[in-house]
Amino acid sequence: SACKRLAALDTYNRDNLFNIGFCAIVCWLNWHRRNGVMQPRRFPAEYLNHAVAEYSALIDMWRALLPTAEKKEGIAFVRLLINRCQTSILHIRALMKLDELDTVYDYNNPVPLTADQAEKIDTILKEAKALTTQYMHLYGEVLPDRGGEGQLVSYAVTTPVFIDAVASNFNDSIAVFHTDTYDAPPMPDAEVR
């Protein structure tokens, strides 16, 4: 069933990727700093692609259920599930976009950027940020309760800020992210650190 498939995907994401619902900027900023530089996390592309494919399949499954829903509450719930699968895809694609920085910039051998590199990096960062903006707009279309509102606010002050932190490697105007550590609770999966 779709619910079992969603539960399996949730476990897969936590085990192989990241917890999409865990929005604590201090953890993102601590976890992604390597060699004093804020970097994309670089999850294996096959894991990211698998998650996107599963969310896409789930969207199709939920859409197939919509015509059979008889009550407005059922329709609202199915639309919520479709929305959250769509936003999860946008989030994953934003992080995949950040991974494209590796095709332009060598974090292990930082050298001054050429004009072409700077332009490509700027494009990648803008596209990643645009995906998070799309996420927030789409997520905001279905807010059944205050918990959803809180999650949206948490996302707004986490993933776009993380992208700004990655951009700070290439843009001195965001130098606030160049500190060694941030006060934060431990990450939910301490063994991954």
DSSP structural state of residue 175: G
CA atoms within 13 A on the CB side of 50: 15
Mean pLDDT of the chain: 83
Determine the pLDDT at residue 193: 43
**What is the per-residue pLDDT across 89-119, written as a single tens digit (0 to 9) for each?**
999 999 999 999 989 988 888 788 899 999 9
Strands 33-34 and 37-38: antiparallel
Q: Would you tell me how many other CB atoms lie within 10 Å of the CB of residue 49?
A: 12
**Residue 186 confidence (pLDDT) above 90:** no
- Closest Cα to residue 9, out of 65, 57, 76? 57
Q: What is the mean pLDDT of residues 178-193?
A: 49
Q: Are 101 and 166 in contact (CB under 8 A)?
A: yes
**What is the per-residue pLDDT across 129-164, written as a single tens digit (0 to 9) for each?**
999 999 999 999 998 888 888 888 888 888 888 888
Q: Which of 36-45, 49-58, 78-87 has the weakest average pLDDT?
A: 36-45
Report the distance separating Cα 87 and Cα 150, nearest Å: 15
Higher pLDDT, 32 or 15: 15
Long-range pairs for 31-38: beta carbons < 8 A, 24 or more residues apart: 31/187, 31/193, 32/162, 32/165, 32/166, 33/180, 34/107, 35/107, 35/108, 36/180, 37/107, 37/110, 37/169, 38/165, 38/166, 38/168, 38/169, 38/177
Copy the structure tokens of residue 75: 């329709």
Higher pLDDT, 159 or 123: 123
pLDDT band (50, 70, 90) for residue 182: very low
